[in-house]
Copies of this chain bind each other. A is one copy, B any other.
Amino acid sequence: MYTPAQNARLALLLEVAGTPKPGNVDRTRDLPDLHFEHFLAGAVGAQSGLEMAADGAAVGSAFERAIDGMATQRGDNTQFGALLLLVPLVRASRSELSPAVAESVVEETTVADAAGFYRAFDHVDVFVDDPPASMDDLDVRRGSDAVPALFERGLTLYDVMDHSVPGDDVAREWVTGFDRSFLAAHRLANADGPATDRAASVFLSVLAERPDTLVANRHGETVAREVTDRAAELHDSNALGTDPDAVERFADELVERGVNPGTTADIVAAGLFIALEHETLEL
């Protein structure tokens, strides 16, 4: 039996080791400045933040610590979104890892948690879109400088996530009881083969279902939709089983174009954690 904090790190490792995982760093692909080893180091570095969450610390502080540790390596942002899902899920696993408990964990977050989330941006460069003008003082890229505005407006971390939907499907998990994360866990449990093969197959299914919001923010809705449509074709034809080279080609092409469905990977990591905790996925 692994502890919840260990299962969270194992989920991060299994996620990046799945291949082919179109567009992202995987067991056989690096990006120009972001290598497989940065993800290994990010998972190791996230330890103390994840342990804080497992010990019952506030979500915002645990998240900030996890990001600070993750960013020890030079690859910079490797698992920011995944940790934004894992920290509340690890916290929920203290009583029960269910959608209802996870929902109550995030609903109970405070303004202090939101401050921890903003401070996390001091440790790492995360790609985010411009906020609406009315939210300019709360642009996450301000990091801890935005904390006074948070307290002035009385926004909890849940409120911040709620404001980020639509346009950020990690935030969407927070306000929908982590529905796609639990669905991914269910699929991981029912898939065949080694955990890393299951991670790759579920990645494709999650990507096939909704345009990846990181891709949409970086490359526009049209590209995000195109990527999802192609993932859906490959998924519907069970290409991983019948024509794996087609998926490999798609993966190479996305890497070449710099199109990285990072949000999809975050959800798969959350699903891996849930499946490991529920022991529906064993190694």
Contact = CB atoms under 8 A, between A and B. Distances in A.
A6 B40 contact: no
A-B interface, 5 closest residue pairs, ranked by CB to CB distance from nearest: A13-B40, A73-B283, A41-B283, A10-B44, A6-B44
Interface in A1-55: 1-2, 6, 9-10, 13-14, 17, 27-28, 30, 35-38, 40-41, 43-45, 47
A44 B196 CA distance: 16
A166 interface: no
Interface of A: 1-2, 6, 9-10, 13-14, 17, 27-28, 30, 35-38, 40-41, 43-45, 47, 72-75, 194-196, 282-283
A36 B17 contact: yes
Identical chains bound together, number: 2
A191 to B, nearest CB: 14
A45 B17 CA distance: 17
A37 B283 contact: yes
A282 to B, nearest CB: 7
A283 B38 contact: yes
B44 A36 contact: no
Contacts of A41: 2, 10, 283
